[in-house]
Amino acid sequence: MLNRTESNHGMWSSRLMFILAAAGSAVGLGNIWRFPYLAGENGGGVFVLAYLVCIGFIGLPILISEILLGRAGRQSPIGAMVALADSVGVSRRWSVIGWMGALAGFMILSFYGVIAGWAMAYVPSTLSGTFVSISAIEAERSFEAFISDPWQVVGWQSLFMLLTIFIAARGVGRGLETTVRYLMPALFGLLILLLVYSAVTTGEFIAGLTFLFQPDFSRFNTDSLITAMGQAFFTLSLGMGAIMAYGAYMPKGSSIVGTATTIALLDTTVALMSGMVIFPLVFANGLESSAGPGLMFITLPIAFGQMAGGQIFGTLFFVLVTFAAITSSISLLEPAVAWVVEKTKLGRARSAMLVGVIAWALGLGSAFSFNIGSDWTIANGMTFFDTMDYVSNNILLPLGGILIAVFASWRLGQDQLLNEMSEDRAWIPVWRFLTRFLAPAGVLIVFVVTIF
């Protein structure tokens, strides 16, 4: 059994800081940009229901497994998997979890940095009044003009990646923890403010709630199911080692089940609240709820542009999105950064730069998918951006998730398990049933159904 109480990379100063960091990773573009538009495209309430089921029965048990493996291994996901496999005498090939995870991290960051850059770009443009009284057509044109300019898109993506690298370079304590300590409370505050604004000024709050919570089964199909599952993985940052890396810095002696449940609840609450902010704005202004990825960048500016106080609240909204994205992107980089620190003599700052520059370069492919590279299609007419999103979310994350669940529940030593879950003894049988059988079977069924 491995029995380390500290990692070489530093530690979160308390359980609360771990919760803020992990919730910071979880809460991101997935909650504010992706969840509302997916719910809009997939029939609202039914999608939300499928998503909640996936969170509870697949996401939460795997979230627990990732924290558990990370805390037991106390290293980068690749290093932790090698050490854990050695400690129970199974093949080191299990470290594929770490390798696949690092790959998925680069792929996700490639498109994540682009969308985060757009959100950042919308802060000054909303503040300067670009969208005041804008018409639907003008809003669409201005968004199209923006994304079809490679210089703008790459410029903002680069700025966002630079920030991410800067924070990662400062290390776990001075970089990551300091960032989440301030940005997470700010994020929750802004979200509550916007919720009140949306509820008070639109008069369509109930319509928004109905759309989100009333299932319309006619609009649901198997494609919606895999989308809901992929979203559950994406929004909880599961399946690629981000939470494993963060778990390695979690102090010993606090309940993993309780902590994981708090993180999942916070994440789900933010997704639902974002929906409750966005849909009333959409309905009050007679806009289309199924607008897709453009929901946040076309529909919302129109809505804000028509409303009293929209200039200031719209700006705050994009500040919120930027904060949420930063606390997530640093977790996408962390597994690879920690691994380079362990394997080379580069040190934290240079490792962060090396890994960050690779992610940035891959991101250029995603940035160009909207302009000069819009016809570089890979398969099925998908652009580089679409491919990165599809392969990472719908294939790599669920696959990584199954492997994590299987390793934690079938391979990890009983002594190690009891050592990490001593506060959660009563939950072990439930967790074990879910991770041994239900979660892997659930993911496999969704895979099979999608392929046929």
Question: Would you say 205 or 385 has its CB closer to ligand TRP?
Answer: 385
Strand-pairing partners, residue 44, are 215
> Looking at the DSSP assignment, which residues form a beta bridge with residue 215?
44
Nearer to ligand TRP, 310 or 363 (CB): 363
Taking CB atoms, the residue at the shortest distance from ligand TRP is: 30
Task: Please state the three-class secondary structure of 134-182 as a single string.
Answer: CCHHHHHHHHHHHHCCHHHHHHHHHHHHHHHHHHHHCHHHHHHHHHHHH
Euclidean distance between CA atoms 205 and 192, whole angstroms: 14
338, 76 contact by CB (below 8 A): yes
Which of 235, 351, 369, 409 contacts ligand TRP by CB under 6 A? 235
**Residue from 179, 306, 328, 366 in contact with ligand TRP (CB under 6 A):** 328
Judged by beta carbon, residue 134 or residue 300, the one nearer ligand TRP is 300
Cα–Cα distance for residue pair 161/114, rounded to 1 Å: 9
Q: If binding is defined by CB under 6 A, does position 60 make contact with ligand TRP? A: no
**Listed ranges 10-18, 48-56, 231-239, 257-265: which one lies at the site for ligand TRP (CB under 6 A):** 231-239
CA–CA gap between residue 228 and residue 209 (Å, rounded)? 19
Distance between CA 20 and CA 6 in Å, rounded? 19
Sign of CA dihedral 40, 42, 48, 51: negative
CB nearer to ligand TRP: give 29 or 302.
29
Residue 7 lies near ligand TRP (rule: CB under 6 A): no
Please give the Cα distance from 65 to 239 (Å, whole number).
10
274 binds ligand TRP (CB under 6 A): no
The reply to whether 363 sits near ligand TRP by the rule CB under 6 A is no
Residue 108 binds ligand TRP (CB under 6 A) = yes
Per-residue burial over 425-447, b = 16 or more CB atoms within 10 Å of its CB, e = otherwise: eebeeebbebbbeebbebbeebb
Among 187, 240, 287, 319, binds ligand TRP (CB under 6 A): 240
Considering only CA atoms, which of 364, 335, 365, 328 is closest in space to residue 352? 335
- Per CB under 6 A, the list member of 9, 17, 25, 337 interacting with ligand TRP is 25
- Could you say whether residue 228 binds ligand TRP (CB under 6 A)? no
Considering only the stretches 2-10, 26-34, 278-286, 298-306, report the one whose residues sit in contact with ligand TRP under the rule CB under 6 A: 26-34
Interface with ligand TRP, residue 331, by CB under 6 A: yes
Q: Is 272 in the site for ligand TRP (CB under 6 A)?
A: no
Q: Residue 267 or residue 424: which is nearer to ligand TRP going by CB?
A: 267
The CA-atom distances, in angstroms, between 277 and each of 212, 241, 262, 382 are 11, 31, 22, 31
Which is closer to ligand TRP, CB of 126 or CB of 237?
237
Among 19, 22, 26, 340, binds ligand TRP (CB under 6 A): 26
Which of the 8 DSSP states describes residue 174?
A: I
The backbone torsions φ and ψ at residue 215, rounded to the nearest 5 degrees and listed phi first, read -70, 135
For residue 408, what are its two tokens?
Answer: 């934690």
Dihedral sign (CA 165, 168, 170, 174): positive
Q: Pick from 11, 21, 23, 30 the residue near ligand TRP by CB under 6 A.
A: 30
DSSP 421: T
Nearer to ligand TRP, 332 or 355 (CB): 332
Of residues 7 and 328, the one with the C-beta less far from ligand TRP: 328
Q: Is 184 in the site for ligand TRP (CB under 6 A)?
A: no
Q: How far is the CB of 375 from ligand TRP (least distance, A)?
A: 28
Q: How far is the CB of 97 from ligand TRP (least distance, A)?
A: 13
DSSP 407: I
* Binding footprint of ligand TRP on the chain (CB under 6 A): 25-26, 28-31, 108, 234-235, 237, 240, 242, 328, 331-332, 397
